[in-house]
Amino acid sequence: MYEYITNLFNNCQVSKLLGIEVYDLKEEFVKGRLTIQKDHINVFGTVHGGILFTLADHVGGACGNTLG
């Protein structure tokens, strides 16, 4: 089941576009990472909050799916 969830979330268009990856899935636990790209940077030189919230939403969604 965890392999299916990993593939599902890592192969969606949003994760590919933004460079988001989920890995190390267990029940109620998922690790996620984001490859920072220049387009992620805001006018203050930091990662845009919307990108960070998208990362949290994506990883949280994968985690919720570990419960079946």
C-alpha dist (Å) from residue 24 to 2, 20, 28, 46: 9, 14, 11, 27
The reported pTM is 0.91
Q: What pLDDT score was predicted for residue 3?
A: 97
Position 21 scores a pLDDT of 98
Assign 65 a pLDDT band (cuts: 50, 70, 90).
very high
Separation CA 68–CA 55 (nearest Å): 21
Confidence tier at 29 by pLDDT (50, 70, 90): very high
CATH class of 2-65: alpha beta
Say how far apart CA 66 and CA 37 lie, in whole Å. 29
Q: Which residues are within 8 A (CB) of 15 and not within 5 positions of it... i.e. 6 or more apart? A: 9, 21, 22, 58
